Structure 1
């Protein structure tokens, strides 16, 4: 069974209650959709704590759930600033789900442009009446289910090379123990390559490039 790590960045004190609801909703959808992974939720209240855990990279997060407003920071700020920082210097590849209590018309046009330009996977208003459910109605709070649906879709949209490599790693774990991949003259474990692909770092980027080049050459030779 695969595990997917989700980081929630939200200063709302009731976030733990929301996480419990997300878990319950996911359990229903997981069974209904026959999903082959579990969700591990992590929560940070402040932008600085979020930056710290993301920069440490001890945990590779598949999806980030980021709130719009952070009025309790030392200097009140917006979640879009964290989004920009993540894309500029931390992780260019992870999926970001952006959510807010504000009505869409309350965000200014520049904020929408910044969200689009920084590759936000989905914008989810916490007002569940604005969007229709995509999957089976779990009978939980609709806005909570919309967030879980966005997380599921973000995982479904993950990098295909990363997904294939992880499946390979799990399926053949008993015979792959200790196996190394040589990339640019250096040896790396498959797990290290997998994590670096998710983080959009070396040696993962080089591995993906080499794999695509080999695939193209094989295809051309077949022709």
Structure 2
């Protein structure tokens, strides 16, 4: 049984209570849906600190849960800005679930456009009464279950090959020191490969493509 890492970015002090509810809800849905993984929740209150954690890239976060409003920052900010930063410079592959206490009509239209253009997997109002549940009710808060359902659905939509490869390279990087990989005649560090895989860029795309082709050929030869 393996773990999927979920980073929650929310400055609400009661988030720790919500996380306990998410764990209980997931435990129920995991059995009903026969899921083969556990969730490990990480929580960060500050947008600035969350960005640092993501930039360090020491943990592969499969899904991010990002709140809308951060009035307690040194300079009050919106979670949408972090979404844009992640997609521009950190990771285009991880799934992002965006949630808020605000009603949808209270958000500016341009903010919704930004969320769509930056590939947010799902928008979840914390007022769960306006959306239907996808799965059988667990007896917990409807809004909490909607958030857990969004996380589960986002994990279904991930690319398992890229995720597994990123995990392998991250572990190998910690053991290999300054090793270089040769990709079509050019030398790259594992860190460079990892960054480009996360951002859907070369040489990472070439590395994934070459590895898949080699794996397919090996499999065909075995048959």
Normalising to structure 2: TM-score of the pair? Answer: 0.81
Q: Residue 70 of structure 1 corresponds to which residue in structure 2?
A: 70
Q: Unmatched 5+ residue regions in structure 2?
A: 169-175, 219-223
Q: Residue 6 of structure 1 corresponds to which residue in structure 2?
A: 6
Do the aligned residues in 2 keep the contact of 1:9 with 1:47 (CA within 8 Å)? yes
Q: Residue 137 of structure 1 corresponds to which residue in structure 2?
A: 137
Alpha-carbon shift at residue 160 of structure 1 (Å): 3.9
Aligned residue for 1:62, secondary structure, equals strand
Q: Residue 111 of structure 1 corresponds to which residue in structure 2?
A: 111
Q: Are 2:55 and 1:55 equivalent residues in the alignment?
A: yes
Q: Residue 21 of structure 2 corresponds to which residue in structure 1?
A: 21
Alignment of 1:28-107 (within 5 A): 28-107=28-107
Q: Unmatched 5+ residue regions in structure 1?
A: 170-177, 219-223
Q: What root-mean-square deviation, in Å, do the aligned CA atoms of Structure 1 and Structure 2 show?
A: 3.1
Alpha-carbon shift at residue 162 of structure 1 (Å): 2.7
Q: In the superposition, relative to structure 1, how do residues 195 and 82 fare at CA in structure 2: closer, same or farther (>3 Å)?
A: closer
For residues 127-180 of structure 1, give each alpha carbon's deviation from its aligned partner in whole angstroms, at most 9, with x where no partner exists: 1011100012111101000000000011100014236769xx8xxxxxxxx9x9
Moved more, 156-165 or 11-20: 156-165
Distance 2:122 2:211 in 1: 29
For residues 49-82 of structure 1, give each alpha carbon's deviation from its aligned partner in whole angstroms, at most 9, with x where no partner exists: 1011001111110101000000111111110011
Count of aligned residue pairs for this structure pair? 206
Distance 1:199 1:39 in 2: 24
4+ long deviations beyond 3 Å: 163-166, 185-189, 192-204, 211-218
Distance 1:161 1:84 in 2: 25
Distance 1:104 1:134 in 2: 20
Normalising to structure 1: TM-score of the pair? Answer: 0.81
